[in-house]
Amino acid sequence: MKKLTFRNIIIMVLLSIFVFSYVRQRVAINRIEKQLNEKQLQLDEITKRNNRLSDEVEKIDSGSDEYLEKLARERLGMIKPGEKVINSSEQTSNSEK
């Protein structure tokens, strides 16, 4: 077996350093790509939500009485004069007794 010369040892050390650096960089790139994909998904979700909210703003700005009435009923629990509210949970608990 040949003796390892000083030159061969230096080459092996440098080669080891290059391989180690490459692997480290590859791991960092994979981590950053994963983060980028996650951020892209978040951006897509936020964009969809923004579009839905923009559509809702347009409906509200258009002054559609039917849509405003629907919002008032669903979100604020408002009713027209003379209407009665029936809660299905109360109705169910009364029928069980």
User: What does the pLDDT profile of the chain (97 residues) look like in tens digits?
Assistant: 467 788 899 999 999 999 999 999 999 999 999 999 999 999 999 999 999 999 888 877 887 788 788 888 888 878 878 777 777 775 455 555 5
Kindly report the pTM of this predicted structure: 0.54
Is the Cβ–Cβ distance between 90 and 84 less than 8 Å? no
Domain range list for the chain: 6-78
Sign of CA dihedral 32, 37, 38, 42: positive
